[in-house]
Each structure stands twice: as C-alpha cells, then as structure tokens.
Amino acid sequence: MSKEVRIEKDSMGTMEVPVNAYYGAQTQRAFLNFPISRHKMPKMMIHALGEIKRACAVVSGKHGWVDATIANAIVKAAEEVSEGKWDEQFVVDIYQTGSGTSSNMNTNEVIANRACEILGKAIGSKHVHPNDHVNYGQSSNDVFPTAMHLAILQDFQVKLLPALSSLQASLIKKAKAFDDIVKIGRTHLQDATPIRMGQVFSGFAYQIQQSIERIQYACTSLEELALGGTAVGTGINRPSSMTKEVIAEIASRMDLNVRETPNHFSAQGSKDAVVHASSSLKELATTLMKLANDIRFLSSGPRCGIGELILPETQPGSSIMPGKVNPVIAESLMMICAQVIGYDVTVSVCNQAGNFELNVMMPAMLYSVLESSHILQTGISNFEKRCVQGIEVDQKRCEELIELSMSMVTSLAPLIGYDKAAEIAKESHKTGKTVRELCIEKNVLPADQLKKVLDPRSMTEPNKE
C-alpha cells in the first residue's frame, strides 16, 4: 500500500487510509486493532462474501430497494471481488471481531469504493455507501455465517472430495493388482492368519469411501444458510421477499444446492453445521493416519523389519547413514492429520461461544476448517502421487513370513482340536521349526490333506461348506 493517505470517515470519526486502498475507515480501524497473526481472511471466504454482495445487489436493484444504477455498479464490483481481483485489499486479521463484522465491512467498503470508481465518482465519496447500499438488507451476523457455509461447501466439493475420490481409485487399483499376493495378517501387532494384500488395500479404499460419504453428509447441513436473519435472526431491516431471491441467485451462480435455514435463531446463535463439517475432517484424519501408519510399518526395514511393501524412493533419508531411505511422504501426511485433529478441537471450543443470539468466534472456526481442508486435499494428492501409485509388494518376503508364522496352525484347529493345535504352535515357537515341518514330523494329517489345509490362499476366505 502507498504511504500517501486520504481521509475517510465513519461513525467514529476520521481515519487516514492508504490513498490507493479501496477499503475505508472501518477496515483501517480493524487493521490497526488486530495486529495479531500472519493469517488474513482465506481467499475462498473473500470470494464467497463477494458472491453474497453481488446477489443482494441484483435483487435490490431489481426491486428498486437500491437505485438501479448504483446496484449495477455494486454487482460489477462484487463480481470482481468474487473473481479474486481485489484479494490484496482484504487486510484484516483472522483474529478479529468474533462476528466477522470487520471482514464484512472490509467487503462492503472495497465494493462501495470500486463501485464509485465504476460510476466515475471519487473513492471515499460515499456516492455508493458501504452500509446503506452494499449492505442493504443484511447484517454481518447473517452474512458472515452464510459466507462460511458457502466457502466450506465449495472447498469440499471442488477440491477435497475430488482429491479423496482420486486416492480411493488408486487404492482400488492396487487392491486389484495385489489380490493374488498372500501375506501374514496381524492383530495386536502379533502374527495372525493369512490375508491377501489386495484385501488389505480394499480395506483402505473402503475407509476412504466412508470418509467421502461422511463429508458429503456434513455438506447437507452446510447447505442451510443463515442469510435473512440480519441482526439477531428476526430479519429486521430487510424486505420479506429478499432472502429467497438472493439465495436462488447464489445457488445458480455458485452451482450449490443451498437454501434458507428454517430457523435463523439457531443458524446465528450456533455453528453446529461447521462443527459437523470439522468433525468429518477429523474422522478423515484418523483414517488417513491409520492408512499411512500401516503402509509405513508394512514397508519397514527393508531387510530387518516387515518389508512386505516397497515404497517409491523419494529422497535420501539420512544425513549420516548413506543409502537410507525413509517413508517421508507418509510421515508428512501423518503430521497433517495431527494438525487437523488440533484444528477440530479449536472449532469445538469456538462453537461453545454461541452466546444468546450470536456466535462470537466465527473467524477462527472458519480458518480452522478451511485450513484443515486445504492441507488435507494437498496432502492426500501428494500421498497418492508420490507414495500410493508407486507402491509394490515383495511377494517373496510375504511368502517367507507366512511360512514362519505360528498362526498357520489355526486352520488345523477344526481338524485336530484347539488344544493340540496350540501345542504345535508352542513347539514351533520353542524350536524354531515351522508349523508345516512339525506336522509332517508328527504325521498329524495325511500329506495331501495337510497340503490343502495349510494352503495360505485358502485361509483368506471362509471355509467352503
């Protein structure tokens, strides 16, 4: 911003504002009042605010509630905001007034001054007024929560869900490719009965499918908008027919299935839908943490660990140990998951600040959910590209570990009894001999029957009746 200033005025008096700024006095006050963090309002939220202001101006101009010439200029200016042309003009910190009033006024002032410019009037002239015209029929208290829902919905549907669907497709592809490879299963971190590697990856893929469904379900709550409630949910100072038309305009422009909330008092006093959305991200984070950890452990070694999976080599793993390669892409995803879980705690605490008719910690909630969504979508895409797509299986290692496992004795239990099978398992552990070797020594079953019973592949499915 320029060091030269102009004088703008609001209800509290005059303020010096950078001469080339489109925002005005209220934004400048908020900029000075909240020198808190390095985080400004997320761009997707800014663009959502622009869409709301545009839709309100379209409807207000059509009905004559705002002069048609002024309304048309507001529509043009708001479209520029929604398209990202003026992102740098949004200077207020995330940790601001809890209702988001500062960001709503930042939007109103930028659009008002740009509309003045479009009409050939001086910036700061108030020919287009930020409150009387741009904010007509609205309040920060219904605009900001509406923009929250729009921003999160769009982020989920345009970015996060496609990233998840792509990861799921890659996991399904691996499940099919690995379906004939039998490995040892593990429960309680101990050897269990055989399982196919394809079955393992099918489990991963289905977990992602369920995460997708939970996020989609959370979106249905976000589709209810607070717009129309104005100050406390009663709709004071807005025409009764305004909200329905404005939301229809927003739905058409943003291609979202949004609708007016049936209860504005709930929509403005609490942010339960945002908590639901955040919770779906936390659930996804726990799923991804399990997936990343399993892949790390299954690839551990490669010689002195489990070593069943072979991961793509992405970078040297050590500054002191030559030749070491680590599962760094999975580690990156795990840290993302930990951060998302932390953000969810923030959202939960913030929702408790719904005091009477308004929640007063909305900006922090918004930032937490959008940042969670962003790092998840980028982390998921990176994990898929640099890890999952290149995963291979060491089939020889899988076969060796199966044969060494004492759990192979499980398939014998229905034929020789649990106690006798347990004795063989304990002797296998004590002597180091395999279950197969002991069964042959003891002539537990005829050779052909033993071969059939101890076939690892047959143990990966229910018994044939």
Which residues are annotated as catalytic?
188, 318
- Which residue matches tokens 């945002």? 274
Could you tell me which of 231, 225, 237, 268 has the C-alpha nearest to residue 360?
268
Task: Report residue 187 as tokens.
Answer: 């429960």
Strands (E), 211-321: 224-225, 259-260, 309-310
Q: Find the helix packing angle between 68-82 and 43-63, rounded to 10°.
A: 160
Residue 294, φ and ψ in degrees, nearest 5: -60, -45
Termini Cα distance of the chain? 78
Q: Specify which residues 358 forms β-bridges with.
A: 355
The CA-based diameter of the chain, rounded to the nearest angstrom, is: 100
Q: Which amino acid is at 193?
A: T
Give the SS3 label for residue 92: coil
Q: Give the C-alpha distances (Å, rounded to integers) separating 36 from 44, 218, 260, 345.
A: 21, 31, 34, 21
Could you tell me which of 340, 145, 313 has the C-alpha nearest to residue 233?
145
Q: What is the spatial distance between Cα 191 and Cα 252, in angstroms, rounded to a whole number?
A: 56
Neighbours of 127 (CB within 10 A): 18
Who contacts 413 (Cβ-Cβ below 8 Å, separation ≥6)? 421
Could you tell me which of 458, 370, 372 has the C-alpha nearest to residue 414?
458
- Note the Cα 13 to chain centre separation in Å: 42
Q: Give the C-alpha distances (Å, rounded to integers) separating 41 from 82, 159, 264, 405.
A: 13, 18, 24, 56
SS3 content of the chain, % helix, strand, coil (to 5): 60, 10, 30
DSSP H helices in 125-233 = 140-155, 161-177, 197-222
Whether 70 contacts 84, CB under 8 Å: no
DSSP state of 162: H
Q: What is the spatial distance between Cα 424 and Cα 29, in angstroms, rounded to a whole number?
A: 79
